[in-house]
Structure 1
């Protein structure tokens, strides 16, 4: 039987110059197909060799496909940020084989945290701990202050056999960031990776499709009680059980986002209407209402007739600027109202891990299935049509407001937020 190594495919890839220069050409990219339940040792050794040479690898994890580099190799680190088009001021997490190496590399203080780390590792968790030893690791160097290093670091021990065996064999920190362009679709399949990064990496380890995930839950262990900075695959309730209740969520607002096509007509109106409604409730300071569009157009003001209808109804939309929906907006939203069916289809296809957040405004909490669940786009119509659009959106939001408040109330209770 062929092994994954014998099925190696070599592709063209950009150069691995010293220092890395985007756009240069060099050695061929390596591709391996593996069985995630029984990864070939030869592939693990080859991946480690690529890392040692300063290359980038794409590898499977328990949440998505990751982009790996030797955290100690400055050239590899620079290449990683360049390939991802990521702001170098934004840190990336690090994959480690075990808690002992975490202790030796960064220090663990207080020592009692080691027991808490054992409770969540391996698993879909990123643990933020103090970088007490302040070793000169390029991935942790501050972009604004060269020669100084981040005081905190995010570490991961994924619940994935390939990750565990690779990190144990390499025995040094490996970057653990998504193998995509920053802000773009999360990679759950090698096709997603190639579609975004092309052949800018040096090696791809293909373990087949990964089930859509909300990502790792990020816990700040430097705070007392521990702080859940991002709720991923593991919920606050699940983590409270693992950590004996010694964790709370960041006091973040409940975010509602309205989505239409260009973000200049329907979604700004809905945003303004709901903001006005919520201003009369005790939850006005807990809920943030935003809007976005599915079309990748340059930022622009709301349509003139949208502004006029807003003025008529005491809603000021003159300062509104349109924006294109992206992964960050989706991840930060708790509930996303779509104005039409095509917006819902777009979001469900592009962000499958968050599909439970996406609802059609007209259909949500409606007892019967609607024949026409979309709100028509008023663009190109007259003021009367815009007035009717406003009336429709206002009526739907008035209908669902009790359900929205119920969700917000539950959100506050789960997080111990007093309102």
Structure 2
């Protein structure tokens, strides 16, 4: 999705931007479309070690297709200042991604979370979503299910944040 002024911007972060984050973007964008929020919420993703332009992994595309989602147009992007600065919320797949971002961008600490800790008053001890890269399709399905559960858990919070931003900028 291309960035538009005044929109609530969610940015997902993982390692290569080819497995977990394309799943998260596809799942979130489905929610955005289901609730007719495409003029309010924008979804993007980056990787801390992304190979620019790489497609989503074959198993990621396969698992998304199984769930009625299409991530075939996804292309990996690396982290950049503009993407982080323009984000309203930055959701990392693993603790190490959060630590890496905070080491370079400590002033964004109020908007950088792991997926599992965001909007979670009692986050689990293990807040990382495992990277299925290079594993069998079953690992990708498990990762997809974990990401889907987390997005479902915090969706209403994200939606309320987005609606509040739009209300405040109107």
Deviation at 1:356, TM superposition (A): 1.1
Matches of residues 166-185 of structure 1 in structure 2 within 5 Å?
A: none
CA distance in 2, matches of 1:288, 1:369: 25
In structure 1, the partner of 2:134 is 380
Match of 1:350 in 2: 104
- More strand, by proportion: 1
**What is the DSSP-based 3-state SS (H/G/I as helix, E as strand, rest coil) of the residue aligned with 2:131?**
coil
Bigger helix fraction: 2
Q: Does 1:394 align with 2:148?
A: yes
4+ residue runs of structure 1 moved beyond 4 angstroms?
A: none
Residue 281 of structure 1: aligned partner: 35
The verdict on how the C-alpha distance between 1:369 and 1:286 changes in structure 2, with shifts beyond 3 A counting, is closer
Cα distance in 1 for residues equivalent to 2:100 and 2:51: 16
Structure 2 gap segments, 5+ residues each: none
Q: Which residue of structure 1 aligns with residue 114 of structure 2?
A: 360
Alpha-carbon RMSD across the aligned residues, in angstroms, is: 1.3
Match of 1:310 among 56, 64, 78: 64
1:292-331 paired onto structure 2 within 5 Å? 292-331=46-85
Question: 1:342: Cα distance to partner?
Answer: 0.3
Query: 2 CA distance for matches of 1:378 and 1:260?
Result: 11
User: Secondary structure of the equivalent of 2:43?
Assistant: strand
TM-score, normalised to structure 1's length?
0.39
Larger radius of gyration: 1
Q: CA deviation at 1:253?
A: 1.4
1:403 and 2:162 matched = no
Which one has more relative contact order, counting CA pairs under 8 Å at least 6 apart? 2
- Between the two proteins, the alignment pairs up a number of residues equal to 167
What is the alpha-carbon distance in structure 1 between the residues aligned to residue 30 and residue 12 of structure 2? 15
Secondary structure of the 2:166 match is helix
Deviation at 1:367, TM superposition (A): 2.5
- Structure 1 gaps, min length 5: 1-249
Cα distance between partner residues in 1 of 2:52 and 2:167: 39
* CA positional deviation for 1:267: 0.5
In structure 2, relative to structure 1, the CA distance for the partners of 1:410 and 1:341 (3 Å cut) is same
